[in-house]
Amino acid sequence: MRLGLSTWCFLQDDVCSAVRTIGDSGLRYIELWGEVPHAYHDWVDRARLKDALSAYDFTVTMHAPFTDLNPASPFRPVKEAVERTLKDFVKFSAHVGASKVTIHPGSVHNEELIGRSVESVVSTLR
């Protein structure tokens, strides 16, 4: 079993500093937090992050962004934007060598939309 930490607990630092802090502590599992200011795929220096990770024997997982993203949305323009964002994030996760990606399924706030929302999130995650 490998014990580790999420970079979420170091959001006051840049993601590479968080990687070094976790790695230097002797932990060998790291979850990269996929939100700004950390491992959001459009904001991070990919080469610098990959280099920081390569200094350690980490099992790497990613936590997909979820702020303002709702995979359960049944509304086509929102669904398409969420799918593009998650697809780009999964590609980025593969680039940095992640073995898993955690994705929140989203939420629905209207009982009449539950059926369509469930269909929406299932098709998005597939």
Q: What is the pLDDT of residue 3?
A: 84
CA distance 82 to 61: 20
pLDDT of residue 54: 96
pLDDT recorded at residue 22: 97
Separation of alpha carbons 107 and 22, rounded Å: 32
**pLDDT value, residue 103:** 92
Question: pTM of the entire structure?
Answer: 0.88
Mean pLDDT by 10 residues, the chain (126 residues): 89 95 96 92 92 96 92 90 94 95 90 91 88
Q: How many CB atoms lie within 10 A of CB 124?
A: 20
